[in-house]
Amino acid sequence: MLSNLGNILLFLNVILSLSIIYTANRNLKISEVIDKKIYQLSLIQSTSIIICFFVLIAAFIVSDFSLITVYQNSHSLKPFFYKIAGTWGNHEGSLLLWAIILSIFSFLFLVYNKNHPNKFRLLTLIIQNILILGFLFFILFNSNPFSRISPIPSEGLGLNPILQDPALAIHPPLLYVGFVGASIYFSAAIASLITNYSEKSFSLSIKNWVLISWCFQTLGILVGSIWAYYELGWGGFWFWDPVENASLLPWFAMTALFHSLIVFEKRNLFYFWVIILCLITFTLSVTGTFLVRSGILNSVHTFASDPSRGIYILIFLSLMIFGSIFLLFQKYKKENYDLNRNSKETFILVNNWFMMFYLITVLLGTIYPIFTDALTDNKISVGPPFYNAIIFPVVVVFLIFMAIGPKAKWIKNKFENIRIYFFILIGAIGLNLVILFFFKSYTLLSNFIIISALFLIISSLMDIAKALKKNKLDFARIISHTSFGFLVLFIGLNDIFSVEKDYNIKLGETKKFENYSIQLQTLDLKNYKNYQAVIGKLEIKNINSNQINILNPEIRIYDKPKTLTYEAAIKTSLVKDYYLTMSNIDRSDYYNIKFQKKPLMAWIWISVIMIVIGGSLRLFSNAKNN
C-alpha cells in the first residue's frame, strides 16, 4: 500500500514539474505578470514531495519490508529514532531528500524575490524544475525507494551500525541543504544569462541563498567531522577522505562566491565571475554525489555504490556542464576590471584566488587516483601528506591577507595606519615565543601558522575596539574571520601538543608514561537491544595532580548486520580531550589500547560554530535590510 502511494506521489511530482515548466514557459511568452496558478502549482509540488517523503518515513517506522529500501536498511528491532534516520541514511531515501530540497527552494525563491524581473524569476523556476525532473527520473527509474520485493521478507537486514549514531542522523540533511541549496543559484545564474539580467540587483536575488547553503554546508561538514572523530576511532577529525573532500569542494566555491557577491553588489564588478562561481558550486555538488554514489572511489562513505547510478549521474552532470559552458560562451563579454592595487575589491579578488587554489588542490588530489587508474592501470591513493604539504604553507599567507583585506577601502588606493600591522605582527610573534618557551618547540611551518593565526585574531579583535568607538560594527564579518583565525590556531596547537600512546595490556595491568598511568581495571559484557558490548573500565591517573578519569571504551558486536565496531571513550573538557580505544587481540588475553591526549578539541568545534554564527548574522542583517 505504502509503495503504491509513494509511487503515485512521485508520478504526481513529475506531472507537476512538467506543468510548472509548461505554464511558466507560456507565461513568459504572453504576459509580464506571473500567473497565480504558478504559485499554486509550486506550492502543491513542495507539499506533495514532502508527503511522499513522509510515506517513506512511515514505511520505515512500521518496518514495511515489502519495500527493498526498507528491507535493506532497517530492522524491526532497531530503535525508533534510527528507523526514522534510516530513511535518509541510504541512497534512495537521500535522493528523495534531494528532490524535497530542490522543490522547496524552488518555491521559496519564487515567493521571496518579488522585486526582481518576472522573466528572470520564471526562467529560474523553469531551470530549477528541469533539475527537479532530472532527479525525479533518476529516482523513478534507477533508485526508487518504493520498489517492491517479493516474496516479502519477514525481517530486514539492518542499518550499518556505524551509521546508527545521532550525529550521522543529522549530518546528511544538513549537508544536503548546502549541496542542493546551491541548485537555486545555479538556476538563477542560467536565467540571468539568458535574460541578460546582469544588474547589481541580481546579487540581491541570490546572496541570501548562498549564505543559507553555506551555513548548512559548514554545519554539515562540522557534524561529519565530529562523527568521524568519535566513531572511526582514529582520533583524527579530518582524513582528506575523497568524500570529505567532495563536501569541501562546493564549500570553497560558495565561500568565494559570497565574497565576490559583496563586490558585485557594491561596485557592479565581477558579474561573469559570480555567474561562473554559481555554476561551479552546484556542478561540484553533483560531481561530489557522482564520486560518492558511483563507487568510483573507495572511501569510508561508499556504503552504497552501484555503477549504473554512476552512468546516470554522469550523463546529468555532462548535460549541466556543457549546457552551462555553451550558454556562457554565447553570452560572455570581456569585463574590464580597473582595480586599485590596495582597494577592497582587489583583496576580495585575492580571497577568491586562494579559494580557487584550495579548490583545485583538493579537486586534483581527489580525482587524481581515478585518472591514474583509468589511464595507466596504476592504483594510487593521495593521502594527507599531499594536502598538508600544499595547503598549510599557503594558509599562512591567506590568514595575513584575511586580516588586512577587510581594512582596505572601496575604490581607493589608500591604507590607514600601516604601522599598526607591524606592531600586531610583533605581538603575534611574541605570543608564539611564549608558547614555544613555556611548553615545547615545534616545526618552522607550525610557527608560521600559529603566528599568522594570532595575527588575524589580534587584528580582528582590534577592529572590534575601533568599530565600537565609531559605532559601526560589522559583527558578522568580525565573528567569522576571528573564529577562522581561532580555528586554525586551535588545529595547530592541537596537532602540536597531542600525545599518543599504544599499549597491549592485560586485565589489572598498569602502564606508565610521562606523568600518567593507565590501568585496565575491569571488563564487562553487556547486552543491549541491538548489540552486545565488551566494556572496559580504564583508569587514567595524572600522577602530578592525582586527578583520576575513568574511561569506558567498548567493543561492540552488532547482530544485524553482523559487525564488530570499536567505540572510543572520550572525556571532553575545555582544555583537553582524553581519547581511548580498545581492541581485542586474537587468541590472547591482551587488549590493544590506544590512548590519546588531544588539547583544545572542544574549541575546534566551537570555532566552526562561531564561523557559522557569523554567517547567520549576515543573513539576519540582510533580511532586516530588505
- Binding residues for other proteins, rule: CB under 8 A, are 290, 294-296, 298, 307, 310-311, 314, 317-318, 321-322, 325, 329, 367, 370-371, 373-375, 379-381, 502, 504, 583, 585-588, 590, 592
CB of residue 484 to other proteins, shortest distance in Å: 31
Query: Measured from the CB of residue 560, what is the shortest distance to other proteins in angstroms?
Result: 24
Q: Shortest Cβ distance from residue 374 to other proteins (Å)?
A: 4
Instruction: Give the amino acid at 347.
Output: F
Using the minimum distance from each CB to other proteins, give the nearer residue, 421 or 566: 566
Q: Which is nearer to other proteins, 79 or 384 (CB)?
A: 384
Neighbours of 506 (CB within 10 A): 10
d(CA 224, CA 222): 5
Half-sphere exposure (Cβ direction) of 151: Cα atoms closer than 13 Å: 3
Nearest approach in angstroms of CB 227 to other proteins is 20
C-beta closer to other proteins: residue 235 or 614: 235
CA of residue 223 relative to chain centroid, distance: 8
Residue 28 · residue 123 · CB < 8 Å:
yes
CB-wise, 341 or 586, nearer to other proteins?
586
CB of 211 to other proteins, least distance (A): 29
C-alpha cell at 283: 556542478
Q: In angstroms, what is the minimal distance from the CB of 182 to other proteins?
A: 19
Q: 99: part of which helix (H) or strand (E)?
A: helix 91-112
Measured from the CB atom, is 364 or 623 closer to other proteins? Answer: 364
In the complex, minimum distance from the CB of residue 178 to other proteins, in angstroms, rounded to a whole number: 23
CA angle 280/282/288 to nearest 5° reads 100
CB of 250 to other proteins, least distance (A): 17
Q: Which is nearer to other proteins, 315 or 434 (CB)?
A: 315
Q: How far is the CB of 475 from other proteins (least distance, A)?
A: 40
Nearest alpha carbon to residue 393 among 461, 472, 448: 448
Q: Are the CB atoms for 340 and 262 separated by under 8 Å? A: no
Q: How far is the CB of 204 from other proteins (least distance, A)?
A: 30
* Minimal distance, residue 566 CB to other proteins, in Å: 9
Q: Nearer Cβ to other proteins, position 317 or 411?
A: 317
Residues 6+ apart with CB under 8 A from 293: 91, 304, 305, 306, 309, 310, 313
Contact 345, 263 (CB under 8 A): yes
| Residue closest to 237 by CA, chosen among 384, 445, 389, 358 | 384
CB of 84 or CB of 314, closer to other proteins: 314
How near is the Cβ of 362 to other proteins at its closest, in Å?
15
Helix axes 242-267, 344-376, angle to 10 degrees: 150
Q: Which is nearer to other proteins, 333 or 469 (CB)?
A: 333
Supply the minimum distance, in Å, between the C-beta of residue 314 and other proteins.
6
When the beta carbons of 6 and 369 are compared against other proteins, the nearer one is: 369
CA distance 277 to 55: 37
Which one, 413 or 504, has the nearer CB to other proteins?
Answer: 504
Instruction: Residue 262: count other Cβ atoms within 10 Å of its Cβ.
Output: 19
Nearest to 579 by CA among 540, 621, 523: 540
Instruction: CB nearer to other proteins: give 530 or 592.
Output: 592
- For 113, residues 6+ apart whose C-beta sits below 8 A from its C-beta are 121, 205
Q: Round to whole Å and give the CA distance between 568 and 99.
A: 36
Could you tell me the smallest distance in angstroms from the CB atom of residue 91 to other proteins?
16
Instruction: Write the DSSP symbol of residue 382.
Output: -
Q: Which is nearer to other proteins, 378 or 544 (CB)?
A: 378
* Burial class of residue 571 (count of CB atoms within 10 Å of its CB; 0-12, 13-18, 19+): middle
Instruction: Give the dihedral of Cα atoms 293, 296, 302, 303; nearest 10 deg.
Output: 70
Q: How far apart are CA 375 and CA 469, in angstroms?
A: 61
C-alpha cell belonging to residue 51: 508527503
The residues, ordered by sequence, that sit 6+ positions from 179 with a Cβ below 8 Å of its Cβ are: 98, 213, 217, 247, 250, 285, 288, 289
**Nearer CB in complex with other proteins: 184/246:** 246
Least Å distance between CB 210 and other proteins? 24
Beta carbons within 8 Å of 616's beta carbon, 6+ residues apart = 211, 215
d(CA 175, CA 86): 16
For residues 298 and 549, which CB has a smaller minimum distance to other proteins in the complex?
298
Cβ proximity to other proteins: between 24 and 505 the closer is 505
Distance CA 521, CA 508 (A): 5
Q: Whole-number minimum distance, CB 438 to other proteins, in Å?
A: 27
Q: How far apart are CA 479 and CA 457, in angstroms?
A: 10
Residue corresponding to grid cell 540582510: 622
* Residue whose C-alpha cell reads 603575534 in the numeric block: 428
Please work out, in degrees rounded to the nearest 5, the angle formed at the alpha carbon of residue 222 by the alpha carbons of 220 and 226: 120
